[in-house]
A = this chain, B = another copy of it.
Amino acid sequence: MRSLHFTAETSSNGVLERDFTMGEIPGVLWSPVSGSDHAPLVLMGHGGGLHKKTPGLMARAHELVITRGFTVVAIDAPGHGDRPRAAEDEQARADLREAMVAGDTERVASVSVRYGASLAERAVPEWQATLDALQQLPEIGAEAPIGYGGGITLGTAIGIPLTAIEPRITAAIFGGGFVVHEALIEAARRITVPVQFLLPWDDEHVDRQSALALFDAFASKEKTLHANPGDHRTIRWFGIDDEFLVRHLGRVATSPA
């Protein structure tokens, strides 16, 4: 089993941020400066073309650490962030750019689906190896409850197949805003843990019905769809159940900092 090497450490506002590498995968772990003994661990995915420290992702991670005492981890997806791009990554990005410039939405969709599926295939075992390594850390161990904390577009395209085969994940937040393909629906059918599904109601380039079909596919007895107006870039979320992860992963006893 590969282990995790911490490469940098900073802290601000009570949040300890530790960069790490796990083999060739760069990641970051956020936890309370005051310690986090077997606190729930939340896995965060980033969007397509983005990386593990995008502002939105960091803001949600900080909030989970500060207000809940949780530990949060993010890794760069293959070909994203600090990772080298393989020929396939370069080709897919070039194809996407070309299709977007040409306004060829059908081609954008088909490239996105193909590339997203390929990324997920590579990313799922990477997340599993990262989990193995994180569970070697004494403050996490095998005891920390684990949830998938969401992430739009690519974060969900990777999170769904991961949650479908990874029994350590006991609750998951997913989101719409991307092109749903049949393999994703198939994976959703194998998910039985509680799911929160966030749907931007007005995504110009995405078929709303396919996102609804994805929500429909989860086998989970407890699943909630929250839809708000806006597309996945402009959406302002309100009225979302902030207690979802706490309800399923548990509360951390607050200790003095």
Chain A interface residues (CB < 8 Å from chain B): 196, 199, 201, 212, 215-216, 221-229, 238-241, 243-244
How many copies, total?
2
Contact of A238 among B201, B216, B222, B240 (CB under 8 A): B222
Contact of A223 among B224, B225, B228, B244 (CB under 8 A): B228
The answer to whether A224 and B221 have CB atoms under 8 Å apart is no
Cα-based distance from A215 to B243 in the complex (angstroms)? 25
The answer to whether B244 and A241 have CB atoms under 8 Å apart is no
Q: Which 10 A-B pairs have the closest CB atoms?
A: A239-B241, A225-B227, A224-B239, A224-B228, A226-B226, A239-B244, A223-B229, A224-B226, A222-B238, A196-B239
Cα-based distance from A58 to B212 in the complex (angstroms)? 33
Q: A196-B239, A239-B196 are in contact. Are A201 and B222 (CB under 8 A)?
A: no
Contact partners of A228 in chain B: CB under 8 A: 223-225
Cα-based distance from A225 to B225 in the complex (angstroms)? 7
Cα-based distance from A239 to B195 in the complex (angstroms)? 11
Q: List 24 A-B contacts (CB under 8 A).
A: A196-B239, A199-B225, A201-B215, A201-B216, A212-B212, A215-B227, A222-B229, A222-B238, A223-B228, A223-B229, A224-B226, A224-B227, A224-B228, A224-B238, A224-B239, A225-B225, A225-B227, A225-B228, A227-B227, A238-B241, A239-B241, A239-B244, A240-B241, A241-B241
Cα-based distance from A181 to B212 in the complex (angstroms)? 22
Cα-based distance from A238 to B227 in the complex (angstroms)? 15
Closest to A212 in B: B212
Contact partners of A201 in chain B: CB under 8 A: 215-216, 225
